[in-house]
Structure 1
Amino acid sequence: MYYVNVQDIRLRLDAIPELVQALDQLTSEWNGTLLQGLAQERLLHLAIETVTDVGSCLIDGYLMRDASSYSDIIEIIGGEEVIDGELTRQLCRLAELRRPLVQEYYNWPREQLHPDTARLAAWLSSFKLQVEQYLKKEQ
């Protein structure tokens, strides 16, 4: 018998619509100000943490193999068919941004809209839906 902390997962999934709304607003109003650049960094970082936190909860709860990195968390839940292959690729690309965002932030090009920022709202919405479907199937 598995112990899956569904409440923890749902708390994180329930934060996604707010991130989606903020991402949509940011991309539609983008003009490269410092404040927008900093907001973009934070939204990208929150998206990465949300996806990997949910992934870690799933890995722990369903006793999947241990992850060695942020990208590995996503690859594991993709391999276990929590999320589909295309979303796995997209979210792995997102996870690769973590290091520059949190360790090399002084080099981040704040005046530029990152190409994945505009696509991220759809990725997060799909992630939420696919995880919810997986949980429903497994319960």
Structure 2
Amino acid sequence: MVDIEVIRHRLALLSEYIADLEAEKEIGLKDFLADKRLRRYVERTLHLAVESCIDIASHIISDEGLREPRDNKDIFAVLGEAGYLPEELAKKLMKMAQFRNIIVHDYARLDAEIIWGILKRDHGDLKHFMLTIKKLLGIS
């Protein structure tokens, strides 16, 4: 059985990160590229948000006794296979997990335009994940 309080706490953090990203999503590319601190802030906030999703998913997998994921990317495939996530969302989150790996392990090759693109068009996938998990577990 899923420990709702653990998930609720992680969802609260995720909600905060999503709100922080949404506050920055209207910035234009030129301004984004010109502001090193903002780029680092957005990069780190995206990283924390993806880590939160991984954490939440890992708790569900463990608590529900689902198959052991091979890596962070596979965590979302496991939730998709088990019916916890729609297939399309699982695929998008798998890409976010890959992005997280680049942030953590290959940060020297990060492209600011890619980060800006994720901020503009992909951060909604994090919110979709949060709302899906809340609905699934009956958390308001």
Q: Do they fold alike, i.e. is TM over 0.5?
A: yes
After TM superposition, the structure 1 = structure 2 runs for residues 54-73 of structure 1, keeping only pairs within 5 Å, are 54-73=56-75
**Does structure 2 conserve the Cα–Cα contact (< 8 Å) formed by 1:34 and 1:111?**
no
TM-score by length of 1: 0.87
Relative contact order higher in (CA < 8 Å, ≥ 6 apart): 1
Q: Which runs of 5+ in 1 are unaligned?
A: none
Which residue in the other structure is 2:123 paired with?
A: 121
Whole-Å Cα distance in 1 between the matches of residues 103 and 15 of structure 2? 22
Q: Could you tell me how far 1:79 is from its partner in structure 2?
A: 1.1
Q: Could you tell me how far 1:112 is from its partner in structure 2?
A: 5.6
Percent identity between the two aligned chains: 25
After TM superposition, the structure 1 = structure 2 runs for residues 46-61 of structure 1, keeping only pairs within 5 Å, are 46-61=48-63
Whole-Å Cα distance in 1 between the matches of residues 101 and 107 of structure 2? 8
Q: Could you tell me how far 1:127 is from its partner in structure 2?
A: 0.9
**Does structure 1 conserve the Cα–Cα contact (< 8 Å) formed by 2:50 and 2:126?**
no
**Does structure 2 conserve the Cα–Cα contact (< 8 Å) formed by 1:34 and 1:110?**
no
After TM superposition, the structure 1 = structure 2 runs for residues 1-139 of structure 1, keeping only pairs within 5 Å, are 2=1, 4-30=2-28, 31=31, 32=33, 33-110=35-112, 113-136=115-138
Greater Cα offset, 66-75 or 98-107: 98-107
Whole-Å Cα distance in 1 between the matches of residues 70 and 116 of structure 2? 26
TM-score by length of 2: 0.86
Whole-Å Cα distance in 2 between the matches of residues 113 and 70 of structure 1? 19
Distance 1:88 1:37, change over 3 A: same
Q: Could you tell me how far 1:106 is from its partner in structure 2?
A: 2.0
Distance 1:63 1:22, change over 3 A: same
Deviation track 1:23-66 (CA, whole Å, cap 9, x = no partner) reads 12222124121111101210221121011100100000000000
Greater Cα offset, 16-25 or 37-46: 16-25
Q: Which runs of 5+ in 2 are unaligned?
A: none
